[in-house]
Structure 1
């Protein structure tokens, strides 16, 4: 993990001047440098979805923005920080859902279940919750745990009455996953940029 010069400078300022009038700006710039670092150079120019890449930097940026907003809730930078936190929560939850789908493709329903439950428990206000509940139902069905699958299906129907994962009769529509879980040759030679 490479730390930017801006991040290091902000860290030094925070350490050496904890009572400065502009300390909120230093915390904000530290978090912003991590946020900007989470976007790779390739993702900026190739319009790649950040949720499909490693989410460690996104999580770190979220933590630093959360630390900033907790320390300085009335700062003039707080509204921007909160908007960025909202975006990061969406990206991290989508990443977890992407990984859950990958595990379902690899016939690893227990691992998929763990990732989808992470979304439901830790990111309940995100748009990924509907998909995570569908992964729960699919994973429990794959594991032969029909009672737990039915419980999750009931939660899905109650929380998302117009869910695309439920048909007109109220039955679960199994997730359509490709039968081959191995990436294509193009995926490998392009380092995952193209599938």
Structure 2
């Protein structure tokens, strides 16, 4: 009897929550239906709870894989993108051959895509989103989820190139001419189709001349010293 009590105590997280004892009489099918109902009614937090119970209590159920995917989807709908990315990535690792993988890659890309900010912000979301959409096109070019990937990639590129141009212009204004020149050249080399490439191209001669002038001025100062 003491052994049973200890076992229940150790696994208490499965039986108790902040509201008291958890009910475990629901079977996998009931939890799947409950999760689906909550999801359809946009009660995503409740859906996560039902699907998590399903996944934890019945890991070998035919509904367990569905639960894993819907947990990720619920986090996505709640705009909890970090949690959604982890859930989608875990799903792909556990089920690399599942037919839902193209959808999972697409959703992972959207998690990052939806976090893209203005050009003066960190461009990591755009980089990560672009990587996912490119992977989707390479691995599943015929998938319906790959259809909007080119447009999304173009938007990512514009954001990344815009960020690079913003930084380059800042360097130019603060007279860090070498750093500015490298940024302008980087834009032209790696994002030639982006609108920012033409602007960078126009800045390169001016920036190159300023670098030369700065180097000459520095050489003159060194001679005087």
Within the alignment, does 1:86 sit opposite 2:154 as a pair?
yes
Partner of residue 92 from structure 2, selected from 14, 29, 39: 14
Number of corresponding residues: 134
Q: Which has the larger radius of gyration?
A: 2
RMSD of Structure 2 on Structure 1 (CA): 1.6
- Superposed, 1:33-182 pairs within 5 Å as 33-39=111-117, 50-144=118-212
Q: How far 1:80 moved relative to its partner?
A: 1.2
Task: Work out the CA distance in 2 between the residues paired with 1:3 and 1:78.
Answer: 20
Task: Work out the CA distance in 2 between the residues paired with 1:88 and 1:38.
Answer: 8
Q: Which segments of 5 or more consecutive residues in structure 1 lack a partner in the other structure? A: 40-49, 146-195
Task: Work out the CA distance in 1 between the residues paired with 2:154 and 2:188.
Answer: 16
| 1:110-138 residue CA offsets vs partner (Å, 9 max, x unmatched) | 00011111110100111111110122111
The residue aligned with 2:104 is 26
| 1:43-74 residue CA offsets vs partner (Å, 9 max, x unmatched) | xxxxxxx1121112211111121112111111
Task: Work out the CA distance in 2 between the residues paired with 1:21 and 1:3.
Answer: 22
| 1:168-191 residue CA offsets vs partner (Å, 9 max, x unmatched) | xxxxxxxxxxxxxxxxxxxxxxxx
- TM-score w.r.t. length of structure 1: 0.65
Considering Cα pairs closer than 8 Å and 6+ residues apart, tell me whether 1 or 2 has the greater RCO: 1
Task: Work out the CA distance in 1 between the residues paired with 2:116 and 2:82.
Answer: 11
- TM-score w.r.t. length of structure 2: 0.57
Task: Work out the CA distance in 1 between the residues paired with 2:99 and 2:85.
Answer: 19
Hey, which bits of structure 1, 4+ residues long, moved more than 3 A? none
Q: Which segments of 5 or more consecutive residues in structure 2 lack a partner in the other structure? A: 1-79, 214-225
Q: Quick check: which one's helix share is greater?
A: 2
